[in-house]
Structure 1
């Protein structure tokens, strides 16, 4: 099928097919490794949650057996369902990475799709070397983030779940590279993935917060395999009339996808979460932790707590007094209170025992929040009015995990251990960490499933 060169999809396809891992800047290769490490940690950490258990039951009810194993579980499923579940698992604790400018969680759909396909290819005698998987990861992350930027700049509603809109496109291009698609068939894959874009944020506060990115992973795999069979799609699905951008934004401007593609890397603006909740909450958490740990503020001494946050924090995480773990994941009030009460903001603070803890709920009752357009998305101010008359304020200028204050390699490794060890045990978690750190040298990327899968 002929396609028009004016559309952006051929440029995306050329980038996906031609990228050379050995010629990538060291910063790009390093960040791809960090993204992979963080994703594996989140996927293992979420592998045995109630969310994942329910999703696996649903998939197994449709297909009793497949050929692709799942990280840290015993089941095997079909390749597209393995992609869905792998991404869903990595989202279960809301601990996945975030492209802050667009609030996209980019690595989940791409990495889950790649691992599922790598496992399928290995079983057919065509193992995927680690460096090839990492090159495909860069392709997927970069295109996903650029599509998100184009959607965001066009003024799409914040109610759209961005990962569901762009994640399938990134996953399709990444998988298409593993399958050796020609540039023309890569255009098909990109278009077929764009045609399946979906998701809105009303799913937040339920298990379905994980389902939308999971669908993106699944859709990307299916788009790439359909394209590999010469199932054609026109080249204007992204930026043509009635294409993805026009439907979402009313315009067809793909300049942010095309501009400097292959020379500047948007996914370098990706970030990794130190806390398992919506990233827009993190600046307030930092401030509350400082008040508890460094200034010795006790929750029972707080008469009132006032939060000033970026507008997105209230637009996305307005929930107060959540009564379940899923609502709590996206509750600014819960995490601010829990951080001050416990002096911690980890997995335990997202569990139902903390969500329903009287002290945490009482402090939420005494907390007010206001949006401040003068604050950046990595800033917040927390003021506590104490019963003895003192007023203390803590301002977060650059939250941990933001672009200006990124998690270090050591902190990411510690996050990995904290998520993987409770699921796999310390020895298996250590082996999995070692494998991830050396992924570029792996002869078969799917070998990651051996040390990471439950016996």
Structure 2
């Protein structure tokens, strides 16, 4: 709670309600476009996975009906289900962005909820300009990251899936902007989303890894619509007695949410992934790729692999001999072995053929990892013992894609193309890319969803 006793939800609501696109710093406006581009690419690529197909079957088995499309799918859904599935799709390849300090994946829940609502409003004759969608995206993800910081600073157990705890709050604040809620409405929306916070990391290694962010997107959207209809919630839901922070951490310190809100942006510490796996694995992948590509190491001559990694790499990605693609997405040992054997770390290396490849399997067995709390999250060391007794070593100090070594705009565009072409033809993928890049100037942000869905003739305004 703030020093003057005002619940933090009031301060969060004021920030979310009053922030203006034109007044956001240039670097925040730029990052809004990059985050949106990355999300659209990830969601489009994920749409053709078995994970999304299973989720759609589950949703449709309950008789869900609606008119909101998904990227790279022909089915239509109601608002809440479209938000859930859109966020879930963006997580399907574990290629979505990550706020490394808290291991939050901030854009998916917020962007998916905004995409669904922008389409619904457009269909009702109230199109959302692209810059308004991007402003809402930045507001929502900023609050999401800050709530995650408060939960993390309070000592919350690592087993909580942070995106599920904070993602709904970010989505609720963002959707509340599009709906034009008043101050009370924003407070209620934030509170209702906080009341639905959920998710544990036991979901890792299964399709359910994607479900928690999806639920956050749906819950945040529902919270905003409920609040907009006069369904209230007390202002202490985040930092009040028995509120989110106290339940998760035992304390009620909201300082990480409030300090510098509106002048210092935590979302600038968000990162876009160059590799489709847990971000804590990326420093080790960088080191392996350097040893293979730059130093010419022959993987067939490797007798042992020694890793020195940040503790979170083992806390979150400890699986040594994964059996499935979902398991491999969060396996440090698989990605090290795959990178060394193939000299690459892309979507093909996450496929079952690579996971079960004899040479990759053999190196997984030969790999040992030691946690080093002295390392930063974007650092790792890989030491290889080669046939004949020679050893080679590589230390990664600033992993590719980290805040200290971010992906360039060209790299993000290349990533978009690679993902979009998994689900769309080249022409439609390029049309979607052009619209996504031009979102700040679009008079109707829903045009992105229309351009990226299948059966586009059926996706126009009704």
Give the shorter-chain TM-score range.
over 0.9
Q: Distance in 2 between matches of 1:415 and 1:178?
A: 29
CA distance in 2, matches of 1:156, 1:283: 25
Which consecutive unaligned segments of at least 5 residues does structure 2 have?
456-462
* Contact 1:28 1:268 survives alignment (8 Å): yes
In the TM superposition, 1:15-54 aligns within 5 A as 15-54=15-54
**Aligned to 2:423, what secondary structure does the other structure show?**
helix
Q: Match of 2:460?
A: none
Partner residue, 2:341: 341
- Distance in 1 (CA, whole Å) between partners of 2:447 and 2:84 is 19
For 1:138, the equivalent position in structure 2 comes to 138
The correspondence of residues 136-215 of structure 1 with structure 2, limited to 5 A, is: 136-215=136-215
Tell me how far apart the structure 2 counterparts of residues 300 and 263 of structure 1 sit (CA, whole Å): 53
- Checking the alignment, whether the CA contact within 8 Å between 2:72 and 2:423 is kept in structure 1 is yes
Partners of 1:242 and 1:74 in 2: how far apart? 43
Partner of 2:445: 445
Deviation at 1:5, TM superposition (A): 5.9
**How far did residue 64 of structure 1 move?**
4.4
Structure 1 residues not aligned, in runs of 5+: none
Render the CA deviation track for 1:421-455: whole Å, top value 9, x for unaligned: 23112111111111011101101101112221123
Match of 2:378 in 1: 378
Does the residue aligned with 2:274 lie in a helix, a strand or coil? coil
In the alignment, is the contact (CA less than 8 A) between 2:96 and 2:272 conserved in 1?
A: yes
Partner-residue secondary structure (3-state), 2:421: helix
Q: Which residue of 1 aligns with 2:257?
A: 257
Report Cα offsets for 1:194-250 as digits up to 9, x if no partner. Answer: 000000000000000000000000000000000000100000000001000000000
Residues 64 and 78 of structure 2 are in contact (CA less than 8 Å); yes or no, is this contact kept in structure 1?
Answer: no
Partner secondary structure for residue 422 of structure 2: helix
- Correspondence for 1:127: 127
8 Å Cα contact 1:186-1:224 kept in structure 2: yes
Answer yes or no: is the 8 Å Cα contact 1:321–1:364 preserved in 2.
yes
Aligned counterparts of 1:81 and 1:114: Cα–Cα separation in 2: 13
> Is the CA contact 1:195–1:237 (under 8 Å) kept in the aligned structure 2?
yes
Q: Distance in 1 between matches of 2:282 and 2:422?
A: 24
How far apart, in 2, do the equivalents of 1:194 and 1:338 lie? Answer: 40
**What's the TM-score once normalised by structure 1's chain length?**
0.98
1:302 aligns with 2:299: no
In 2, distance between residues paired with 1:206 and 1:237?
31
Kindly indicate whether the alpha-carbon contact (under 8 Å) linking 2:48 and 2:422 is maintained by their aligned counterparts in 1.
Answer: no
Give CA deviations for 1:136-191 in whole Å, capped at 9, x if unaligned.
11110110000000000000000000000000000000000000000111000000
Q: SS where residue 61 of structure 2 aligns?
A: helix
Scaled by the length of structure 2, the TM-score of the pair is: 0.97
What is the total number of aligned residue pairs between the two structures? 452
Q: What is residue 96 of structure 1 aligned with on the other side?
A: 96
CA contact (8 A) 1:310 1:380 kept: yes
Matches of 1:421 and 1:251, distance apart in 2: 47
Counterpart in 1 of 2:413? 413
2:436 is the counterpart of 1:431: no
User: Is residue 63–residue 77 contact of structure 1 (8 Å, CA) maintained in 2?
Assistant: no
Deviation, 1:65, is: 2.5
Deviation of 1:260 after TM superposition, in Å, equals 1.3
User: How many Å separate the matches in 2 of 1:358 and 1:364?
Assistant: 10
Deviation at 1:125, TM superposition (A): 1.0
Q: Judge conservation of contact 1:7–1:239 (CA < 8 Å) in 2.
A: yes
Q: Secondary structure at the match of 2:449?
A: helix
Secondary structure of the 1:395 match is strand
Does the 8 Å CA contact 1:139/1:170 hold for their aligned counterparts? Answer: yes
Task: Quote the Cα distance in structure 1 between the aligned partners of 2:262 and 2:330.
Answer: 35
Secondary structure at the aligned position of 2:306 is classed as: strand
Q: Secondary structure at the match of 2:89?
A: helix
Asked if the contact 2:168–2:194 (Cα under 8 Å) also holds between the matched residues in 1, the reply is yes
Tell whether the 8 Å contact from 2:278 to 2:329 is kept in structure 1 after alignment: yes
Give the whole-Å Cα distance in 1 for the aligned partners of 2:338 and 2:15.
45
User: In the alignment, which residue of structure 2 is the partner of 1:267?
Assistant: 267
Q: Structure 1 stretch 372-381 or stretch 276-285: which is displaced more?
A: 372-381
SS of equivalent to 1:384: strand
CA contact (8 A) 1:192 1:233 kept: yes
| 1:328 alignment partner in structure 2 | 328
Distance 2:292 2:257 in 1: 44
State the match for 2:364 in structure 1: 364
Conserved? CA contact 1:72–1:424, under 8 Å: yes
Judge conservation of contact 2:293–2:343 (CA < 8 Å) in 1: yes
Taking only aligned residues, the RMSD between alpha carbons, in angstroms, comes to: 0.9
